Structure 1
Amino acid sequence: MNKTKIYLLLLLSVIVTSCIPKKDLIYLQDKKSAVNEVVTPLNQNPYRLQTNDILNITIKAIDSKLVSIFNGSQGAGVGSSSEQGSYFSGYYVDDHGNIRLPILGEMNVLGFTTEEVRVKIEKMLLDKYFKEEAGIYVVVKLSGFKYTINGEVGNTGTKTLYQEKVNIMEAIANSGDINITGDRKDVKVIRRFPNGNETFSIDLTDANAVKSPAFNLQPNDYILVNPLKQKTWGTGKTGIESLTTIITLLSLATTTFLLLRN
């Protein structure tokens, strides 16, 4: 009887430790009963342009003919919504941080925000080529918000969202969500800066994740979701799966023992 109890306890402990707890699967839990707080501006800093970025630049005026050269075939590809179209017709930031504009020539944009580039282009146009009465209007945008996600998610790869800001929850949802075997407590975000890369770790099961500098993504972020240890054990993701695996192994062991005995 004592041996039977010991075996049952061992079986129960294996099942409990091998399955994934519910608390490891729920996003943004209020673990510390924290009151609602305003997210600090730290994780909402504007993105500063880096090499290999692609800009869409549109220049408008009261008389569209005056600025047609800026928006021709070498321009920003107005009306092209595809990523491929943006790649071929957008303004590429080269290894020196420069873009090449018609008439205006090379312009360094490395470390600038899109708003600062807009102001810079407007000023150059008004100083050299146009008067205020021309009604010059400049729009500068990134050609989509691009990020890469890998690991335990439904759909890995490089993604592009056509919106100004993206948080990590939106990026994961756009990638088919984290698999049940993915570690939501330690999601890595690798961010590129002019002086090198920096890695952030964010616990998406904690409501305080919204305060992390990695919650609001920056363009070109790399997101990595590592597997839970339960996946490497191979016993199953739930109690039923674990029990089925154990029963199968016990049946196989029993059958092998009987065959060898006979």
Structure 2
Amino acid sequence: MNVKKQAAALPALALFIVFAIAACTPQKDLTQYMLFQNSRDSLATTLKETAIQPNDLLSIQVLSKSINQEQTALFNLFNSGVSSATAGGSNGTGGGGGSLPIGYQVSAAGNIEIPLVGEVKASGLTKNQLETTLEQKLSSYVKDPMVNVRFLQYNISVLGEVRQPGIKGFPTDRVTIVDALTAAGDMTDFGRRDNVQVIREQNGQRKHYTVNLSNSRNLFASPAYQLQPNDIVYVTPTDNKLKNLNVDPVRQRRTSIILGFVGIAATIANVIIRFNQ
């Protein structure tokens, strides 16, 4: 009778071992999924105008406060997009398709070339500052000029543990890291909210920033909260994801051996129970 009771207890013991092994598996830290904590200690954040950088592509539209707009035509040749179909001829009869952005390209030295005016320093200026500068320089050629400057390409690369990685384009120059992550479909379950990397190139040098989205004070105070054109946002994976990608072979072999013994014990227990019935 004692043998039968002991044998009957073996399946329960086997289940206990299986659950014990499962309990040893690292569990997800729920705090990793919490965003914008410490909101009472948050700092007020005002988005600044983005400074123009070398290689930026700008749309520059020149108008006149007078009724006659003929004087402005020369300066508006490169302020919009042109399709590849119309690039080879008028009326859009050329081959190909799609829209190619054209505009005033900021040189590596930080200048733009304006018809009649020549080179104008643009790098380091905001859009409003460049507009004022151009209005002053164009006043010799256009009566009461009005200038509108905007970015043609405000692209952010979002990589790592996001649902839709890739290059994200924005119609505004005031883009935050939250905007970029939203455009990428938010983070995956394996993305670290407390360790988001932003890589930025300024004046020929690459700068790295670490942003903690779990802490509002850290987030809003970070110089990487507001993104610049061509920034790279990289969401690092959690430790659990890294362990899944690189499983310890010794631990995996040990677990397989234990589960094998559990299966053998359960089989022996069933044989003993049937033999004593």
What is the TM-score normalised by the length of structure 1? 0.75
Residue 110 of structure 1, CA deviation: 1.9
SS in 2 for 1:186: strand
Q: Which residue of 1 is the match for residue 260 of structure 2?
A: 254
Residue 254 of structure 1, CA deviation: 2.1
Matches within 5 A, 1:140-219: 140-194=149-203, 196-208=205-217, 209-219=219-229
2:61 counterpart (23, 42, 58):
58
Provide the rounded CA distance (Å) in 1 between the counterparts of 2:208 and 2:48: 17
CA separation of 1:173/1:71 partners in 2, compared to 1, >3 Å: closer, same or farther? same
Provide the rounded CA distance (Å) in 1 between the counterparts of 2:35 and 2:179: 13
Q: Which residue of 1 is the match for residue 274 of structure 2?
A: none
Q: Which residue of 2 is the match for residue 100 of structure 1?
A: 113
Q: Which residue of 2 is the match for residue 47 of structure 1?
A: 50
Q: Which residue of 2 is the match for residue 238 of structure 1?
A: none
CA separation of 1:35/1:94 partners in 2, compared to 1, >3 Å: closer, same or farther? closer
Residue 26 of structure 1, CA deviation: 2.1
Residue 36 of structure 1, CA deviation: 5.0
RMSD of the alignment, in Å? 3.3
Structure 2 alignment gaps of length 5 or more: 1-8, 84-97, 246-251, 265-277
Query: Which is richer in strand?
Result: 2
Residue 11 of structure 1, CA deviation: 2.8
Provide the rounded CA distance (Å) in 2 between the counterparts of 1:189 and 1:49: 19
Amino acid at match of 1:63: N
State whether residues 152 and 182 of structure 1, in contact with CA within 8 Å, keep that contact through their aligned partners in structure 2: yes
Residue 164 of structure 1, CA deviation: 2.7
Amino acid at match of 1:11: I
Provide the rounded CA distance (Å) in 2 between the counterparts of 1:143 and 1:219: 10
Matched, 1:124 2:137: yes
The structure with the largest alpha-carbon Rg is 2
Provide the rounded CA distance (Å) in 2 between the counterparts of 1:130 and 1:216: 36
SS in 1 for 2:35: coil
Q: Which residue of 2 is the match for residue 69 of structure 1?
A: 74
CA separation of 1:255/1:102 partners in 2, compared to 1, >3 Å: closer, same or farther? farther
Provide the rounded CA distance (Å) in 2 between the counterparts of 1:78 and 1:121: 21
Matched, 1:85 2:90: no
SS in 2 for 1:178: coil
What is the TM-score normalised by the length of structure 2? 0.72
Amino acid at match of 1:166: V
State whether residues 145 and 165 of structure 1, in contact with CA within 8 Å, keep that contact through their aligned partners in structure 2: no
SS in 2 for 1:27: coil
The C-alpha deviation readout for 1:204-250, integer Å capped at 9, x for no partner, is 11222122221121222111111111012229xxxxxxxxxx9xx66
Residue 251 of structure 1, CA deviation: 9.6
State whether residues 58 and 78 of structure 1, in contact with CA within 8 Å, keep that contact through their aligned partners in structure 2: no
Structure 1 alignment gaps of length 5 or more: 236-245
Amino acid at match of 1:53: D
The C-alpha deviation readout for 1:62-113, integer Å capped at 9, x for no partner, is 32212111113xx211799xx9532xx2111122222122222222212222
SS in 1 for 2:62: strand
SS in 1 for 2:100: helix
Same amino acid, percent of matched pairs: 25
Amino acid at match of 1:222: I
SS in 2 for 1:68: helix
Aligned residues: 229
Provide the rounded CA distance (Å) in 2 between the counterparts of 1:213 and 1:84: 34
Provide the rounded CA distance (Å) in 2 between the counterparts of 1:97 and 1:144: 16
